Structure 1
Amino acid sequence: MSIIEVGRICVKTRGREAGKKCVIVDIIDENYVLVTGPKDVNGVKRRRVNILHIEPTDKKININKGASDEDVKRAIQEAGLTDYMKETIKPRISVI
C-alpha cells in the first residue's frame, strides 16, 4: 500500500495554499500528483503538485482516477468530511 494514492487527503505544505487540505486525483509520475480541493469547498484549485510539497493524512475517500471536482465534492460529502476539508492547518516551517 502506497501512502501517495488516488483519493488520499493531504495537506499542502508550500505555496499560497499552504495549510489547506487537498485530495489526490491522479498520479502523474514519481514526483508529481494532480490535486484538487475542490475550489468551491476550500479554495484549492486543481493543479499539479510536487509530492514533496504535500503531507498525506490518514484519511482517504473513494474516487476514481481522474475524477472531476464534482465527483470529489460528492465523495467528501458522503464521507462526512466537508468540515474537515475546510479546516486550515498551520504548516510546520522547516529550515534547510
Structure 2
Amino acid sequence: MAAIEVGRVCVKTAGREAGENGVILDIIDKNFVEVVGVNVKNRRCNVSHLEPTENKIELKSDDIEEIKKELESLE
C-alpha cells in the first residue's frame, strides 16, 4: 500500500482542520499534495500533516461535490 497516492483517504493532523478526513486529489511534489474533504477546504497540504488511512476512493471525475459525497459514505 502506497501511503501517499491519489484517492487515498487521510486524516489531517495539523491546523484548523486537524482531525478531519480528506481525500488526496493530486500530488504536487514530494512534500505537498492537494486535499479536499467534507469539512476540509480544497487546498495544498504538507504530507507531514497527514495520516493516511487504509481507505481509498476511486476518483472517477474532477467533481468536488461528488468526491465529498463518496467520502461521506465511508464515514
| TM exceeding 0.5 | yes
| 2:70 aligned counterpart, secondary structure | helix
Q: Aligned equivalents of 1:10 and 1:19: distance in 2?
A: 10
Q: What letter is aligned with 1:47?
A: R
Percent sequence identity over aligned pairs = 53
Cα distance between partner residues in 1 of 2:34 and 2:63: 11
TM-superposed CA distance for 1:68, in Å, is 2.9
1:61 corresponds to 2:61: no
Aligned length: 75
TM-score, with structure 2 as normaliser: 0.87
Q: Structure 2 residue aligned with 1:46, among 42, 47, 72?
A: 42
In the superposition, the TM-score normalised over structure 1's length comes to: 0.69
Q: RMSD in angstroms over aligned alpha carbons?
A: 1.7
- SS in structure 1 opposite 2:14? coil
